[in-house]
Chain A
Amino acid sequence: MAKYGLKISRAGFDVKTAPDDKLAFSSEYKGLRIALEGQVSLVAGSNHIVIDHNLGYKPFSIVSATETTIFNKTIRLPASYAYLGVYGFYGGYTLSTTQLIADLYLSDEGLEPQGEGVLKYYLLVNEI
């Protein structure tokens, strides 16, 4: 065990002997830290969302979307309608060093615009 740093073991494990995968935290390894988070409302039909993050690097990201009137579930993006088994709720996103750009489509099974929801994003300190 390193003599310098900070380790916290999970409940039930001795921090002096616990293998690294049984540590809740170890400063020996870099972690994932959130630099920026936020949410944007989604409307029926096409949603083209541009978020200026201006982090100056392309960040590790976790993005999810929730459709609240038809599907009523939260899923991670990117997502396809085939995956959900629900036509009309799908989309993806791209990232640059300054922007998050997401495109989502919300509709009924006939692909007529319908529904509403929320896109939630986490952009991390970690670069990709």
Chain B
Amino acid sequence: MSDYGIKVSKEGVSVQGATGDSVLMDTTYKNLKYIKNVYLASAGQFPHGLGYAPVAWTWAKDSQDWWVKTNPGLINVPSTSGGSVVVPTTSSDSTNIYSSAGYCEYLAEKGYIGSSTEKPTGYGVVVSAPGKDVKTAPPYDRIFDSSFNTYKIFASGTVTLSWAEGAEGWINADITHNLGYAPKVIIFGEDGSEPAWTSAGYEGQEVFRYYSNTTKLRVVGQRADFYGGIFGPLPAYSQTFTYFIFVDRIDDSEFI
């Protein structure tokens, strides 16, 4: 056990020997922190003041009240069969974040090299990286900072979407959370990446996306012969996704 930082174990488990799921907090590892949620009524840019390009993405709501995150695929899948599609876009540089309309969220973590002279606010709990002065450590050198938000996992698991041989079209699988607000969510496909049809290589006839609303996480799939290169019926296909639902709200405009 490191003798530096904060460690919290589950009730009934000694913090000195706690490992795996018995560890609730451990500043041995840097926490993934998001700095702000910024609402943009229309597409635009805003200065983030960090001095380096942060990792950022945007959530936008479609006409069926489902929220979708920046997902730069060539082909998109609607939240409901035959529904309209919203495609949020986000990029950043060392000065600004450029976003379409919606709630734009950005991390303390760097998306690009650069440096920052921003210091902790002086309020709350801050743990700096080993060798860094906690009073002056820039955001990316803070293992934990209570002035930023940490992602809190409400639920996680797996969900599978399948088409039978010869079947095409839109399908979905819903995971009920009943939080009463639309939580931040993320899914990963079997290749370890968020699903997106990028044109980086041939990626098959199946395209996936995911959505969040006040009661559910929805994983959707669309299957078709997009480029007309398939002869005969499509074979049966199945993919299992790992999902995470967070306590944290998409429309978290109070966190500024």
Stretch at the interface among B106-114, B165-173, B212-220, B224-232: B106-114
- Whether A21 pairs with B252 at a CB distance below 8 angstroms is yes
Residue of A nearest to B6 (CB): A6
A83 with B72: in contact, given A21-B247, A32-B151 (CB under 8 Å)?
yes
Confirm or deny: B237 has a beta carbon within 8 angstroms of a beta carbon on chain A: no
Confirm or deny: B31 has a beta carbon within 8 angstroms of a beta carbon on chain A: yes
Main secondary structure of the interface of B (DSSP, over half): loop
How many angstroms between the C-alpha atoms of A112 and B109 in the bound complex?
A: 32
Confirm or deny: A96 has a beta carbon within 8 angstroms of a beta carbon on chain B: yes
Number of contacting residues on B, CB 8 A? 67
A92 with B32: in contact, given A23-B152, A62-B55, A74-B91 (CB under 8 Å)?
no
Number of contacting residues on A, CB 8 A? 63
Residue of B nearest to A33 (CB): B29
Tell me which residues across on chain B come within 8 A of A30, comparing CB atoms.
Answer: 21, 24, 152-153
Partner of A20, one of B31, B73, B186, B247: B247
Which chain B residues have a beta carbon within 8 Å of chain A's beta carbons?
6, 8, 11, 21, 24-26, 29-32, 53-57, 70, 72-74, 87, 89-93, 98, 107, 109-113, 123-125, 144, 146-154, 181, 186, 188, 191-194, 196-201, 242, 244, 247-249, 252, 254-255
Which chain A residues have a beta carbon within 8 Å of chain B's beta carbons?
4-6, 8, 10-11, 20-35, 37, 39, 58-64, 66, 72-84, 90-96, 100, 103-105, 118, 120, 122, 124-126, 128
